[in-house]
Amino acid sequence: MARKYFGTDGVRGRVGASLLTPEFALKLGWAAGRVFAERCGGRPVLIGKDTRISGYLFESALEAGLSAAGVDILLLGPLPTPGIAYLTRTLGACGGVVISASHNPYYDNGIKFLAAGGDKLSDEMEARIEALLDAPLVCQPADALGRARRLVDARGRYIEWCKSRFADDLDLRGLKLVVDCAHGAAYHCAPAVFAELGAEVEAIGVAPNGLNINAGCGATAPQALAERVRACGADAGIALDGDGDRLIMVDAQGRIRDGDALLYLLARDRRARGLPLGGVVGTVMSNLALEQALAALGIPFVRTAVGDRHVMEELKRRGWMLGGETSGHLIVRDKAPCGDGIVAALQVLEVMRRSGCALHALLHDWAPCPQVQRNVPWPRGTDPARLPELAAAVAETERALAGRGRVLLRPSGTEPVLRILLEGEEEDRLGALAEQLVERARAATETETQETA
């Protein structure tokens, strides 16, 4: 579907610029409210957010828009995205709104919508919302306006649900964990989940001030967590991102374990225990080592475009249980209906408890292929495959790798950058090849700009 306003996951960008303004958020809330009312009128819409300071602004604007459309609102306050999805489903809500820019810095924000079951909106519903955004806002009469109230126990409900995802016959007593919440939406949820299951928890990244979300901490910057795990002798470290749907872990030796390593561990355990699996879904960014390691175990593996939405769609289509991204979006379908960093961490900890092995021992045979990634400023909507100079540069790089690696160019769906990924056997050589591609990409965009000027 060609989208005018929605990106790959709602609307995201710099606060105060482009679409991320109070005026647009109000109109967006009204348009979404109209669509929700058409589908399931009389049921409330939930609004949750992460901890960035602009969340207050957009929460109020969306509340006003939904009320103008005649929709009741339940305000959840700061809560991880998977928690908002869970409550949308269990409370029988008409839909949900997530105010978050996930792993982005505080000056960005985003707005995305959930359907009644807590899933991502269908293309059809997004198209209907977009059509209404170009129509005049018509407010309901005063006696038909939506009412708003706050759900005071949202945090507690989500904590209890997360705990229920852990095996009944196990606990976490005797484990020392460092939990980094990235000063984000999980700051008041994640430490409680692990502590109430018996772990000794040291929590970091749990002092949000509206400006420090994802700032040198959490799943996008787990180096500080690794240092703390080593310093305090913890058994493992758990890093979440700003909205709590990504997981990166650190073993007792301080080694950072990304989504590919954790997918391999979970898939191998499920195969060994005869649990439902089918196969594993990754993305074009998944490390080649994951594909090779799963093949050695006889586990099918397929790739999708980047984005947990694509991973989930493929899992449902195939009836498989496990998928995710290198960045830490992990989906365990029979444990959670969407990517959930806390629930995914519990699945890894469950493997550790059942086996009696430390995380580094469980992953002793995991050896990712070297990868080099670069980001280049990139005009939105530009297809790198349609720029002859850049296509030629990619072909040259692939010839240089001689079939022992791969090249991937992918325009970001959330930022105006081109992501360049090289994978192969020699990291130093990959770096040099990546820098050549960066220069060719910059030159190609300059040429394109001059020709279209």
Give the separation between CA 406 and CA 279, rounded to whole angstroms.
23
Give me the catalytic one of 102, 164, 355, 412.
Answer: 102
Q: Beta strand 73-78 with 45-49: parallel, antiparallel or unpaired? A: parallel
Phi, psi of 5 (to 5 degrees): -115, -40
Greatest CA span in the chain, whole angstroms? 70
Contact between residue 374 and residue 434 where contact means Cβ atoms under 8 Å apart: yes
Which residues neighbour 452 within 8 Å (Cβ) at sequence distance 6 or greater? none
**Is 102 known to be catalytic?**
yes
How far is CA 56 from each of CA 44, 84, 95, rounded to the nearest angstrom? Answer: 20, 17, 20
The DSSP line for 15-65 is: TTSTT-SHHHHHHHHHHHHHHHHHHHTTS-EEEEE-S-TTHHHHHHHHHHH
Contact between residue 403 and residue 277 where contact means Cβ atoms under 8 Å apart: no
Q: Which residue has the tokens 């694509």?
A: 310
Encoded amino acid at 154, one letter: A
CA 160 remoteness from chain centre: 22
**Rg (Cα) of the chain, in Å, rounded?**
22
Give the separation between CA 264 and CA 363, rounded to whole angstroms.
9
- Neighbour-count burial for 335-344, b at 16+ CB within 10 Å, e otherwise: bbbbbbbbbb
Contact between residue 241 and residue 220 where contact means Cβ atoms under 8 Å apart: yes
Closest of 7, 194, 201, 35 to residue 102, by C-alpha? 7
Q: How far apart are the first and last CA of the chain?
A: 28
Contact between residue 49 and residue 58 where contact means Cβ atoms under 8 Å apart: yes
Phi, psi of 95 (to 5 degrees): 180, 180
Give the separation between CA 12 and CA 412, rounded to whole angstroms.
12
Contact between residue 94 and residue 69 where contact means Cβ atoms under 8 Å apart: no
Just list the catalytic residues. Answer: 102
